[in-house]
């Protein structure tokens, strides 16, 4: 981490106390961490409470899933202050939660979960983020590493050509106004009906790849202009397409239910979202919400939490537009799935059916959804009842248990698959949801590794490093749009996702099933 970045983090962690000089930055960083360790209360080895009296206006306590080592990492930035800020939202229930991959975000921390009552609570675009329905899709194949390795460079090159990537890059599709409305309404179904994938794919997507309540009339012209040329594109930043291989299987029967047979099987992971369309929807509605907080007399400790009552016209309009963004993202990942199949066909000269390329699952990790959960009644002490809630998951994954009606029939016996990417140099995980998650986190768990360094800090600290050469020395083929992109996404910029997943498993909110490592990486 570069010195300037350390200075910035210290300033944040000390509740915005100015740092006039860089001398003593490391000492101040340590002091900031110790401040947070003194502010939280250890519940058990994997849970920490930020008390409700930590900050005036908190309606619920904060809850952080971490071990002591991870808490000391989390304490370096301002994300715990954001946990406290989220706890002040009107109508919030339970606790303002932070997963172990938490880091500083816009309004809400990335890695945050918060549920508000529909009848008297609010919805906040900051609780979803700018990349609406950024999420992960996992595909399985019947290929093995032994079969893929001789053609790996050719495969990665074919995938890089098939799936456009990079900042602002357009794709192969050109949508007129009428057609983009159909995408916003129908999501992944739109793509399948036009030949971009299989109907069986839809059965294995969260919400079947189509969030209800979408209303294209609530999406302005600018999001449409930005999104129209970008359907079927990967984008840049932390988005990626990876060819992966199974390295460890922790629950063989559960893995088999997902079509994952064991060591050496080749998988494909797609991580992207709603591109410029979702970003602009968020930007547009933050302006709307900024006016709404004044109109409804809502007082917030941070204007980035701008919100409106769920039941208000502004709240309903945002949810309808957000659903459009979510559907665009599912259509996006569906189109990419189709072009992945085409690239494999080109390289191996076999059909997708012969190659066994099937969808395992697709999860959203930036979304707000209307769900029913059991929560204590505020007017009757510990008496619990089912309540309709707006569950914000920002950098957090839904983790429903076995038997939940909203997960596919194929997974009723094992629980919802949870897809947890790491970084491009190490490994990723597949997990499943649990009853504990339903009871404690509104059916939510972590979404990835979580950043330890900002992109600027990674650029400074790794300048001159041959990231591509380092990855290729480990047998990982790389295609990337820029050297800068590789530096920003290097392993050093991220927490160790194995540590993150270990915490969520020991806390009982998801259980790991499979560990995979990268063979080939495509970055924008």
Which among 126, 302, 333, 79 has a CA at the least distance from the CA of 210? 333
Which DSSP string corresponds to 94-146?
EEEEEEEEEE--SSSPEEEEEEEETTT-EE-GGGT-SSTT-EEEEEEEEEEHH
CB 237, CB 514: distance < 8 Å: no
Query: 13: closest CA among 82, 114, 67, 98?
Result: 82
Q: Residue 401 carries which DSSP code? A: P
CA geometry: angle 213, 413, 505, nearest 5 deg: 85
What residues have CB less than 8 Å from 356, skipping those under 6 apart?
140, 141, 142, 143
Q: In the structure encoding, which two tokens stand for residue 290, read together? A: 């900024």
**Among residues 239, 279, 392, 447, which one is catalytic?**
447
- Catalytic (active site) residue 447: yes
Q: How many CB atoms lie within 10 A of CB 53?
A: 8
The rounded distance, in Å, linking the Cα atoms of 442 and 419 is: 17
- Note whether 30 and 10 are within 8 A (CB): no
Give me 320's structure tokens. 């309808």
> 3-class DSSP state for residue 428?
strand
Tokens found for residue 25 = 């930055």
Classify residue 21 by its DSSP letter.
Answer: -
Determine the length of the chain. Answer: 524
**Cα-to-chain-centroid distance, residue 376:** 28
Task: Return the residue matching tokens 């596919």.
Answer: 408
As annotated, the active-site residues are 447
């Amino acid at each position: 981490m570069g010195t300037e970045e350390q200075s910035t983090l210290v300033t944040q962690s000390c509740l915005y106390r100015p740092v006039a000089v860089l001398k003593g930055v490391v000492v101040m960083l340590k002091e900031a961490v110790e401040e947070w360790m003194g502010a939280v209360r250890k519940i058990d080895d994997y849970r920490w409470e930020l008390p409700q009296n930590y900050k005036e206006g908190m309606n619920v306590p904060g809850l952080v899933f971490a071990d002591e080592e991870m808490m000391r990492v989390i304490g370096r930035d301002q994300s715990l202050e954001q946990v406290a800020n989220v706890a002040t939202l009107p109508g919030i229930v339970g606790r303002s939660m932070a997963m172990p991959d938490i880091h500083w975000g816009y309004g809400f921390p990335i890695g945050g979960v918060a549920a508000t009552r529909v009848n008297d609570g609010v919805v906040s675009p900051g609780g979803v983020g700018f990349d609406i329905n950024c999420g992960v899709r996992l595909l399985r194949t019947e290929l093995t590493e032994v079969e893929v390795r001789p053609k790996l460079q050719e495969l990665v090159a074919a995938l890089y050509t098939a799936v456009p990537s990079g900042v602002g890059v357009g794709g192969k599709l050109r949508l007129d106004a009428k057609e983009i409305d159909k995408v916003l309404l129908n999501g992944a179904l739109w793509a399948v009906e036009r030949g971009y994938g299989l109907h069986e794919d839809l059965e294995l997507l969260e919400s079947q790849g189509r969030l209800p309540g979408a209303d294209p009339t609530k999406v302005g012209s600018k999001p449409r202009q930005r999104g129209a040329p970008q359907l079927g594109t990967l984008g840049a930043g932390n988005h990626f397409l990876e060819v992966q291989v199974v390295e460890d299987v922790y629950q063989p029967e559960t893995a088999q239910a997902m079509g994952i047979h064991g060591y050496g099987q080749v998988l494909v992971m797609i991580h992207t979202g709603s591109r410029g369309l979702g970003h602009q929807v968020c930007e547009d509605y933050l302006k709307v919400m900024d006016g709404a907080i004044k109109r409804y007399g809502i007082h917030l400790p941070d204007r980035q939490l701008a919100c409106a009552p769920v039941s208000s016209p502004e709240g309903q309009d945002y949810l309808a537009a957000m659903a459009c963004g979510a559907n665009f993202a599912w259509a996006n990942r569906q189109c990419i799935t189709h072009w992945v199949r085409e690239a494999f066909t080109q390289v191996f000269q076999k059909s997708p059916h012969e190659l066994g390329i099937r969808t395992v699952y697709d999860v959203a990790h930036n979304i707000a959804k209307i769900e029913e959960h059991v929560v204590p009644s505020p007017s009757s002490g510990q008496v619990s009842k089912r309540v309709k809630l707006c569950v914000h998951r920002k950098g957090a994954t839904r983790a429903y248990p076995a038997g939940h009606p909203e997960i596919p029939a194929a997974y009723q016996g094992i629980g919802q698959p949870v897809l947890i990417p790491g970084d491009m140099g190490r490994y990723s995980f597949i997990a499943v949801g649990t009853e504990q998650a339903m009871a404690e986190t509104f059916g939510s768990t972590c979404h990835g590794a979580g950043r330890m360094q900002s992109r600027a800090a990674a650029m400074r600290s790794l300048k001159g490093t041959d990231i591509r050469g380092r990855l290729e020395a480990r047998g990982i083929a790389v295609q990337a749009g820029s050297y800068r992109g590789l530096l920003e996404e290097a392993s050093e910029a991220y927490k160790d996702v194995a540590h993150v997943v270990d915490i969520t498993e020991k806390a009982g909110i998801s259980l790991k099933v499979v560990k995979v490592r990268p063979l080939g990486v495509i970055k924008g």
